[in-house]
Amino acid sequence: MTWGIGQELQGGKYVIEQILGQGGFGITYRALQVNLNRPVVIKTPNEYLNYDPEYDKYIKRFIAEGRTLGRLSQEPHPHIVGVIELFQEGNTHCLVMEFVPGENLFQAVKRRGALPEAEIMTCIRQIGEALMVVHQAGLVHRDAHPGNIMLRSNGKAVLIDFGIAKQIIPATQSSADKAANDGFAPYEQRYQGSRDPRVDIYCLAASLYYGVTGQKPTNSLARRLDDEPLIPPQELISSISKELNQAILNGMALEAKDRPQSMQSWLEMLQRFPII
């Protein structure tokens, strides 16, 4: 059941304000946490998943990963959205997260065009540091595309939507949903559903490509199946340094074995040259 505006949860502790998004796995709401008078985000699985034969497994993973993210929030990271609590409303499991104001990287590039190298590099390094923490906790985000990179007004970037939606791929989910965000997911994720941390390296490098060029990179499946080339960023924006150009191409290597083998290794590539 989709909740409408004004719906009260947990005896009036939360009040639904709007639906922020709806995907193959779940629904995302903006809600008011009444006692603190602050906005929050509430994620729930889609009701239709009740009919999936592996529904119980998905919910167990939803709860387990929600608890893991909750443990991460005990020592808040400035670049990871905070988890507030897990609860059950009737038969619906809910994950409550911090609401991050601002615009995402997609919106920033749409409004401003390609971003200055120094600005986008700062943002991507912050998100890379956040993903290192996520990987150390045994998780893989699998969707660090520009829509999930929020830019606060103070210049800080925050990684959102750990929505366990991306960690679980139900049998009832469409192939389009499995494809993740077009242009930013490596082919092994889109084709095989990989949960390897090197998926996040590709996705973040692709987000950097987008931020510094203003253009989406070539779809990884088209690169793999149709041999379509990935246009080097420097061919699109001639002012991009050769070092940054190479770091992006290394992070977006088609085969996972050819990418840096950890997020830390890729971030070290980004730190080998000064930002002007």
pLDDT surpasses 60 at 39 = yes
pLDDT band (50, 70, 90) for residue 151: very high
Angle between helices 263-270 and 117-136 (to 10 degrees): 160
Nearest in space to 214 (alpha carbons), one of 190, 240, 189: 240
C-alpha–C-alpha distance, residues 239 and 157, integer Å: 24
pLDDT surpasses 90 at 155 = no
**Lowest-pLDDT range of 42-56, 208-222, 233-247:** 42-56
Region 229-244: mean pLDDT is 95
pLDDT surpasses 50 at 174 = no
C-alpha–C-alpha distance, residues 184 and 204, integer Å: 8
Give Cβ neighbours of residue 120 (< 8 Å, ≥ 6 apart).
208, 211, 212
Q: Would you give the distance in Å from CA 236 to the centre of its chain?
A: 25
* pTM summary value: 0.86
pLDDT of residue 106: 96
C-alpha–C-alpha distance, residues 92 and 45, integer Å: 7
Domains of the chain: 8-98 (3.30.200.20), 103-270 (1.10.510.10)
Strand partners, 32: 15, 39
Tokens of 249: 């191409």
Region 170-192: mean pLDDT is 64
The residues that are catalytic are 143
Nearest in space to 61 (alpha carbons), one of 128, 132, 138: 138
Q: Do residues 5 and 90 touch, judged by C-beta distance below 8 A?
A: no
